[in-house]
């Protein structure tokens, strides 16, 4: 009963972060803000859902496997964000204003 409640709360938090990340991805004005939004969905959204699934799983080994999935996704998404950021360096504030006004 307590476990169910913990799982439900974790899933709710995870979904909230995913929703916030998705809305931000659509609404934010430039690449770097969008990358910032994506990391929230990957780190915290998936993290909370993985943690919830791990708590829900029957044994420790399955739970650890689920958390390993999260760690691997984190590694992949952080490297991808880094590469995208490196490829498109930040514009100066003035260039940014000219572009997005």
- Return the structure tokens found at 80: 């991808």
Binding residue (CB under 8 A) for other proteins from 8, 9, 23, 75: 75
- Return the structure tokens found at 15: 């979904």
Q: Which listed range, 27-35, 45-53, 56-64, 81-89, lies at the site for other proteins (CB under 8 A)?
A: 81-89
Q: Do 21 and 45 form a contact (C-beta atoms < 8 A)?
A: yes
Closest distance of CB 92 from other proteins, Å? 22
Confirm or reject binding of residue 8 to other proteins (CB under 8 A).
no
Identify the CA nearest to 48 among candidates 6, 100, 81.
6
Confirm or reject binding of residue 86 to other proteins (CB under 8 A).
yes
Closest distance of CB 88 from other proteins, Å? 12
Binding residue (CB under 8 A) for other proteins from 2, 59, 61, 87: 87
CA angle 9, 77, 71 (to 5 degrees): 55
């Amino acid at each position: 009963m307590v476990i169910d409640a913990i799982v439900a709360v974790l899933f709710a938090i995870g979904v909230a972060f995913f929703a916030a990340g998705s809305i931000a991805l659509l609404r934010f004005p430039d690449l770097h803000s969008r990358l910032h939004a994506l990391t929230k969905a990957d780190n915290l959204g998936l993290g909370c859902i993985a943690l919830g699934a791990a708590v829900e799983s029957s044994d420790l080994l399955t739970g650890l496997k689920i958390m390993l999935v999260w760690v691997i996704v984190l590694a992949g998404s952080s490297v991808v964000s880094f590469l995208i950021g490196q490829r498109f360096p930040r514009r100066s504030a003035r260039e940014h204003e000219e572009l997005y006004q």
